Structure 1
Amino acid sequence: MVQSTSSSVAPGTDWRTRVGPSPLLAEALDALAARAVDEAACRDLLELLADLGCDAPTLAAAAWFELARLDPAAWERRAPQLPEDLRRLVEGQLAAEKVWALHAQRGPGGGSEGLRRLLLAIIRDLRVVFVLLARQLARMRAATALPEAERQALARLTRDIHAPLANRLGIWQLKWELEDLAFRYLQPETYKRIAKLLDERRADREAFIRESLDELGRALAAAGITAELAGRPKHIYSIWKKMQRKELEFSELYDIRAVRVLVDSVADCYAALGVVHALWPHLPREFDDYLARPKGNGYRSLHTAVIGPRGKTLEVQIRTHEMHRANELGVAAHWRYKEGGGADAEFEAKIAWMRQLLDTRGGDEGALAAELRTELIEDRVYLLTPKGEVFDLPHGATVLDFAYHVHTEVGHRCRGAKVNGRIVPLTFQPASGDRVEILTAKLAEPSRDWLSPHHGYLSTGRAREKVRAWFRRSAQEANLAAGRAIFERELRRLALPEADLARLPSHFHLKNHDELLVALALGEVTPGQIARVLQEAAQPLPEVTQSSAPVASRHSALDQGALSIEGVGNLLTSLARCCQPLPGDAVRGYITKGRGVSVHRADCASLARLAAREPDRVIEVNWGRAAAQAYEVDIELRGYERKGLQKDVASVVSNANVGIIASSSRLFTRTGEVEMRFTLRVRDFEQLSTLLDRLVALPNIVDARRVGGA
C-alpha cells in the first residue's frame, strides 16, 4: 500500500492534550497572564516543546523561566517551594543567558564555537537545550516586530549558537527553520531572490512532483513494498549554501525537485532503492548510503539522484519511519523520563555525545568521531577572559594554568588573579563559566615554587614546561646555585648527614651532579625523589669516636626483619628516641641490658658517648624490610600565629596519611612567633619530604624540618 502526503510531518494535537495536566505549569501560566505577557508567544513556545516530545516539567520550567526573568523577586520567593528537578531546569536557562550576553559582547562571529562549548559545559540537564532551541525559534518567528538592531542581533545569535547546536543534535525540525529565519534577517536581498526563484517555478515543480509520486507509487506497489511518499520541502538557506559550496547557479541545482520514501524496515529501504533505479536512470556520483555510514550527528537515510519524468533530475530520499522520526527530532525523538522506563541505547549514546565537545574542525566527520571518543566535556572547564573569550582547560586547572594557557608571557608575569571580581590565590581552581582576570607585573619572574607538585600552583604539563623553559634560559650558574640550595635545604630539613651527591645522578639517568642540580632547580627531579634515593642508597657507617651521656629511655619498637644485624641471630630491635633514625639514615646498633638492640643514627651524640664508654656493645646493623612499617619522627614548625593555623597544619598532616602521636606548641606573644612540635609516624623519607613541602606552603609557616638528638 502506498500513501502520498503533501507534508512530511502530520499536524499534532493541542499541546495540553499531549502533555497532560500540570498544576505547576498552570500556576506559572496564571502568573504570566497576570503580568500581561504575550499569550501567543508563550503558546508558540509550549507547542514547539510538545512537538519535540518534552514532558510536563520541561514545559513548566519554560514558563517559570519567563516569570523569573520578568519578576526575579517573585521567582526567588517561590523557588524554594518548587521541586528540585524544576529548579534545575530554570537555573540552566538562567545560566544560558550568560552565554547570550557574552555573544552580544563579542560581536559578530566572535568565539561562537567556544561559546557553544561553554553552553554545554554549564548546562547539566539535557532538557534545557530543547527549551533554549524552541524559545529561540519562537522569538525568531516574532522578530519582524522588533527594531532592526535587535532583529539583527537575534539572528546572529541564532546563526552562531542555536542553529549549529540543533544541527549537531540532529533536530532538523528546528534546525531548518532557525537557519532560514536567520538567513532571512541577515541577508534579506539574497533570501528574497532565492524565494522568488522558488515561487516562480512552484506550479511547474508541484505538478512534476505529483507526477513523480504517482509513477513511483505504482512501481513500489507492483513490487509489494508498503511505503509512504511525500514531496520533500527544500529550504532556502540550504539552497544558498549548496550554490556557494559548488559554485552553481539556481538553474543548475538538481535537488530542487525532491521526494521522500518512508518504509517499514532497512530491507525495504534497499528494495525501494532498487525499484527507483529500475524505474529511472540514476546519477552514479550522486548516491549516498547514510544507512551503512551514518553522519556524525546520527542522520540515517539513502540519497540518490535520478533522471525522472520529462527528463528532469529528481532527488529521492529513502528511510524507515523510525529513522525519519529520529532525523527530524534528533535526541528529542528518544526522549524518556518515565519512572522505570526501559533503557534506550541510542538515546544514551546521544546523551553521551551531547556531553562531549562540539566539533571545531569544520565538519570533518572523522576528526569529530575521534574527538568524541576521547574528550568528555566533564574533563574540561571553560573559562572566560575579561573580554569574554572562552578558553578550555583540563579539570583541576588553576588560575596560574589559565594564565599560561592565555599566553606564555602572561603566565611568566602573573602575580595574582581575580575570579568573578574576587581576588584568589594562584592555586585556586575555577569552574566552568567563571571570568578570570590575571594580574601581572611589568617584569617576567616565575617562581621555582610553581614547579613543585606539592604546592599546587600548576596542574598541566604544558604550563610546567613553560616555566622550566624560562629557567632553562636563565644562566647556568643560577640554576646550579638554585639546585644546590634546594638539595642542601632538603638535607637540613630531613636532618640527614652529608650525602655523596655524586652517587645520585645515575638513579635519574643523568651524567653528573651538575645535571642533577639543574634538574632539581627546574622541577624535573623533586626533593621527595631525592629523599627516596638517599634512603635506597645509604652510605656505609662511619666510625664512632665521640664520648659520654646516657641514652634516652624511650624506644620505638620495630617489626622483626625491619633491620638486619651482622654476626648474630634475630634480636629484639627498637629505634632510639634520642635521634629517631629513619630508613635511609646511616645507622648503628647498641646492645642494651634486657631491651635488645637500640638502633641509633650513626652520627648520634648519645650513641657516641655510649660507645666511648662500652665500645663492645656497638654493632653493625642495616635496614631490612623497612618500607613495610612506619617510624616515629619529630618535626618542628616555625611561623607566625594566625587564626586556624593549628587546624590547617593538622589537616595537611591528616591528608598526607601521616599519623600524629603527640604535639605541642609555644607562642611568643611579644613577637607573635609560634613554634610547634609534632611526633609523627611516617613511612619513609619521601613521605616526610612531601609532608614538609606541604606544611611550609601554608600561610604564616616560615620553616618546617625534622629534628633529632644528634
Structure 2
Amino acid sequence: MLRQYELVDRVLGYDPKADEALINRAYVYAMKQHGSQMRASGDPYFSHPIEVAGILTELKLDTATIVTALLHDTMEDTGSTMDELTKLFGSQVAGLVDGVTKLTRLELTSERSKQAENFRKFLLAMSNDIRVLLVKLADRLHNMRTLHFIDSADKRQRIAQETMEIYAPLAGRMGIQEIREELEDLAFKELNPEAREALLRRLNEFREESGDTVRQIAAEIEAKLKEEGLAAEVIGREKRPYSMWRKMERRGISLEQLSDIFGFRVVVDEVPDCYRAIGILHTSWPMVPGRFKDYISTPKNNGYRSVHTTMIGPQKKRAEVQVRTRKMHEIAEYGIAAHWLYKEGPVDTEASGEFAATFSWLRQLIEMLEHGGTPEEFMEHTKLQMFSDQVFCFTPNGMLITLPRGATPIDFAYAVHTEIGDTCVGCKINGRHMPLRTRLENGDEVEIIRSQVQRPSPAWEAYVATGKARSAIRRSIRAAKQAEFSRLGRQILKSAFEAAGKDASDTILERALGPLRKSDVAELLASVGDGTVSAEQVLHTVYPEEPLAKRGRKRVGANGKDQRNGAVRVTGRGAGLGIQFAPDTFPLPGERIVGIMMPGEGVTVYPIDAPTLETFDGEPSRWIDVTWDIDPEVPQTFPARLRVTARNEVGSLGHIATLIADYGSNISNLTLAQRDADFYDLQIDLDVRDIKHLTRIMSALNGLSCVNTVARPRH
C-alpha cells in the first residue's frame, strides 16, 4: 500500500503545482472514515482507494481526480455526506465523488435488463465529467487485480464478463491501452484460465529458446536507425496472453502458428521522422505485405496515431513495429488523459481539438440514448460502437468518415447525418452504382443518393455494422409503425362504431382513455391498430349499454367492391407496417381477402380460402373486414407463385420465361422442384398487377406445347 508521502511525491513529480495540502487532508479523512473496514483479501479497506489513486497517478491526472479516488467510497461505505465533502474538499471534488458513487450503486445487480439500464445511467453520469469514468476504470482495475479473493465463482465470472464487455472496451475507446490490456487479461484469466495457462507456457518456452531476443532485436533496430542519422528510442515487449488469444481466434490459427508474439515501438521526435524511420526499416528488412497501416494521416476514433508495419526483422524474426512521435506515444499510453483539459495553464488549441475528437464517440452514444429504445438495444448498439476495427472512407468533397470494418453505405450515410441515412435510396462507390449492402473498403469514395419520400427499411438492420445506424433505423421504424398503427386503429374503430350506429370522434374516444389506461387518443388508436386492444372493448367502454359485437367470416363481403366502406383498405404490395400479407399466400387484387388481428403486430391479410383461417374460427373478435384500394392510375405489382410441370426438352424454360415477359411480368425467383427423364416441376415467383393479369398468363402457359400443367399452390 502506498504511504501518504509516496502518493504526494508521485503527484508532485508530474504536477509541481498540485495542491499537496488537499491530497494530505483527503488521505487522512478517508483513512479515518473507513476505519476498521476490511476487504475480502483481509487487507484494510483503505488500501483500495489508495491503490486506485496510485493507478491514476500513472495517468498523471489532476489533483481533483486523485482526491476523488481517495474519497470515492466514503459516501457509499461510510457516513460521509455530499454536504460534508463539499465543505471539506470543495464542490468540484464532491460532485466527482457523487458521480462515482452513483456508478458504484448501479453495479449491485446482475440481471441483464437491469445491467443494460444501469449502463445507460453510467454513460449519462460520466458524460457530465469524463474524470468520473477515469476513476471508475481505476477502481475496476484494482478490483480485478484482487478478484481471486472473492469466494463465489459465479460472482467472479459475472464481474469478469462485465469487465470484458464494458470496462475494457471503454478504456480502449478512451485510448488508455495499458489499462484496457490489463483489464482484458485479468478478465481472460477468470473466464478462460486453461487457454491463458497454455499461452503462458508458450511464452515461457519462447523465453527459454530465444533468451534475450527482444532486447537484442530492439538494440539492432535502434542501431540501424542511428546509423542512418535518425535518433530514436526503440522499446520491445511481449504481447499479453489475451491479445495473442484474440489474434488466434480472429485469424483461425493455432498456438504453434502464432509467430509475432512480441512487438516494438519506435519513438522519434517529429512526424516526418516517422515516415523516414519506416523507409529505413523497409529497406533494411523485408516487410510483410498487407501489414502496413498509417494511423497518422487517418487517426483512430480514440485519437491514437502511429504508423504500423510488420517485417521479417533482425535474426529472421517476424516483428510488428509501431512508429510514432513522443507526443503520439504519450497519447497511445494515456489516451484522453494525455490531453487533459482540466490542467492549469494556457489552453492548447490543438490538444483541445484532439480531445473533442476523442470524446465524439461518447456524444454519439448519448445521442442514441436520448432517442429512446429499450436498454437492451442501447447496450447492443454500444458494444457495436466499442468492439470494432476501422475503415476510412471519403465523401465526394473529401471529408473523411471513419467506420468499423464491415460497414456498408447505409452506415456511411448515418455517420454523415441521420437525415441522410433516413432518406438514402442508393449509392455510388468510387463512381459506380452499387447495392446498399456492399461492404466498404479503405479509401472508398461514397456518394449517397437520396429521396425525401424514402424511409428506412427493416431489412437494413441485417447489413449495418454501426450502433448509430441500427439505432436510427429502429427509431424510424418504431415511429412509422406507431403512425401506421394509429391510422389502422382509426379505420377499425370507424368500422366498428358505424356498425353500431355510434359516433367515433376523438371527443367520444377520450371517454375510454381512463378505463383503458391510455394517455391520449393517439395511444388508444395505436393500441387498437396493433391488436392489443379490440374495437369491441373501446365501443363497450364508451357505450356500456352496447353489447360486445361479434365478428367473423359472415361479415366479409363477396368481393372487394361489395365490402362496406368501413373496411380496412389494402393499398399496395407492401401493405404497410401495420398490415402484412400472410407468408406464402400471395393474395391478389380482385380476390376476396380477410384480415386477422395479430396482437402486437397489426393485421395479417389472407385469401378467403386459406386453410390457415380455420384456426381462427373460434376467435371471431380477431376477424377484420379488409378491401383492396388500388389506384389504376398508379401502376404497381404484387407477388404471385405458380407451379408449372413442363417437358424436359431443349428450350422449354426459355419458352416459359419469354411468354411471361411478353405478358408484362417479371420473374423474381425460379426453383427447380423436381426433375426426371420426361418432365420437371418448376416453382415460379413472378410479379403481376392483379388476378386477371395472372389468369391470362396461366392460360397462355397452358397453351404452350412444352407445358403440361399450370396451377397456383394452395397454402
Question: TM-score, with normalisation over the residues of structure 1?
Answer: 0.51
2:145 aligned with 1:141: yes
Change (3 A) 1:463 1:101: farther
Q: What is the deviation of 1:175?
A: 0.4
For 2:159, the aligned partner's letter is L
Change (3 A) 1:299 1:483: farther
Higher RCO (CA-CA < 8 Å; seq separation 6+): 1
Which aligned pairs between 1:152-167 and structure 2 lie closer than 5 A? 152-167=157-172
Q: Contact 2:50/2:69 (CA < 8 Å) preserved in 1? A: no
Q: What is the deviation of 1:12?
A: 12
Q: What is the deviation of 1:79?
A: 3.7
Which aligned pairs between 1:92-491 and structure 2 lie closer than 5 A? 92-102=99-109, 104-106=110-112, 116-123=119-126, 124-149=128-153, 150-205=155-210, 207-338=212-343, 341-343=347-349, 344-357=352-365, 358=382, 360=384, 362-363=387-388, 365=390, 366-367=402-403, 374=417, 462-474=481-493, 476=495, 478=497, 486=505
Q: Residue 57 of structure 2 corresponds to which residue in structure 1? A: 50
For 1:75, the aligned partner's letter is T
Q: Residue 84 of structure 2 corresponds to which residue in structure 1? A: 78
For 2:232, the aligned partner's letter is A
Change (3 A) 1:95 1:196: same
Q: Residue 29 of structure 2 corresponds to which residue in structure 1? A: 31
Q: Contact 2:497/2:504 (CA < 8 Å) preserved in 1? A: no
Change (3 A) 1:159 1:112: farther
2:29 aligned counterpart, secondary structure: helix
Q: In 2, distance between residues paired with 1:120 and 1:334?
A: 21
For 1:78, the aligned partner's letter is E
Q: What is the deviation of 1:348?
A: 2.1
Q: Contact 1:205/1:257 (CA < 8 Å) preserved in 2? A: no
Deviation string 1:536-594 (CA, Å, 9 cap, x unpaired) is: xxxxxxxxxxxxxxxxxxxxxxxxxxxxxxxxxxxxxxxxxxxxxxxxxxxxxxxxxxx
1:101 aligned counterpart, secondary structure: coil
Deviation string 1:666-693 (CA, Å, 9 cap, x unpaired) is: xxxxxxxxxxxxxxxxxxxxxxxxxxxx
Q: In 1, distance between residues paired with 2:268 and 2:184?
A: 29
1:232 aligned counterpart, secondary structure: strand
Deviates more, 1:214-223 or 1:115-124: 115-124
For 1:363, the aligned partner's letter is S
1:356 aligned counterpart, secondary structure: helix
Q: In 2, distance between residues paired with 1:202 and 1:479?
A: 86
Q: Contact 1:12/1:51 (CA < 8 Å) preserved in 2? A: no
Q: What is the deviation of 1:122?
A: 2.9
Q: In 2, distance between residues paired with 1:153 and 1:122?
A: 23
Q: What is the deviation of 1:234?
A: 0.6
Q: In 2, distance between residues paired with 1:467 and 1:283?
A: 60
For 2:137, the aligned partner's letter is L
Change (3 A) 1:293 1:367: closer
1:303 aligned counterpart, secondary structure: strand
Q: What is the deviation of 1:320?
A: 1.3
2:239 aligned counterpart, secondary structure: coil
Alignment counterpart, residue 66 of structure 1, candidates 66, 69, 73: 73
Change (3 A) 1:91 1:374: farther
1:304 aligned counterpart, secondary structure: strand
Q: What is the deviation of 1:99?
A: 3.2
For 1:220, the aligned partner's letter is L
Change (3 A) 1:518 1:251: closer
Q: Residue 14 of structure 1 corresponds to which residue in structure 2? A: 10
For 1:140, the aligned partner's letter is M
Deviation string 1:377-417 (CA, Å, 9 cap, x unpaired) is: xxxxxxxxxxxxxxxxxxxxxxxxxxxxxxxxxxxxxxxxx
Q: Contact 1:120/1:355 (CA < 8 Å) preserved in 2? A: no
Structure 1 unaligned regions, length at least 5: 1-10, 377-458, 491-513, 520-710
Q: In 2, distance between residues paired with 1:14 and 1:25?
A: 11
Q: What is the deviation of 1:208?
A: 2.3
Q: What is the deviation of 1:515?
A: 10
Report the count of equivalent residues. 399
Change (3 A) 1:42 1:216: same
Change (3 A) 1:482 1:249: farther
Q: In 2, distance between residues paired with 1:375 and 1:285?
A: 34
1:219 aligned counterpart, secondary structure: helix
Deviation string 1:281-318 (CA, Å, 9 cap, x unpaired) is: 11112222222332333322222111223333122111
Q: In 2, distance between residues paired with 1:314 and 1:195?
A: 19
For 2:129, the aligned partner's letter is D
Q: In 1, distance between residues paired with 2:111 and 2:299?
A: 37
Q: What is the deviation of 1:374?
A: 4.7
Q: Contact 2:303/2:354 (CA < 8 Å) preserved in 1? A: no
1:194 aligned counterpart, secondary structure: helix
2:131 aligned counterpart, secondary structure: helix
Q: In 2, distance between residues paired with 1:483 and 1:517?
A: 16
Q: Contact 2:217/2:315 (CA < 8 Å) preserved in 1? A: no
Question: TM-score, with normalisation over the residues of structure 2?
Answer: 0.51
For 1:51, the aligned partner's letter is E
2:104 aligned counterpart, secondary structure: helix
Q: What is the deviation of 1:167?
A: 1.2
Q: In 2, distance between residues paired with 1:39 and 1:485?
A: 68
Q: Contact 1:280/1:306 (CA < 8 Å) preserved in 2? A: yes
Change (3 A) 1:290 1:479: farther
Q: What is the deviation of 1:263?
A: 1.0
Q: Contact 2:491/2:566 (CA < 8 Å) preserved in 1? A: no
Q: In 1, distance between residues paired with 2:166 and 2:58?
A: 21
Q: In 2, distance between residues paired with 1:170 and 1:246?
A: 24
1:285 aligned counterpart, secondary structure: coil
Q: What is the deviation of 1:262?
A: 0.8
Deviates more, 1:78-87 or 1:165-174: 78-87
Q: What is the deviation of 1:231?
A: 0.3
Q: What is the deviation of 1:375?
A: 7.2
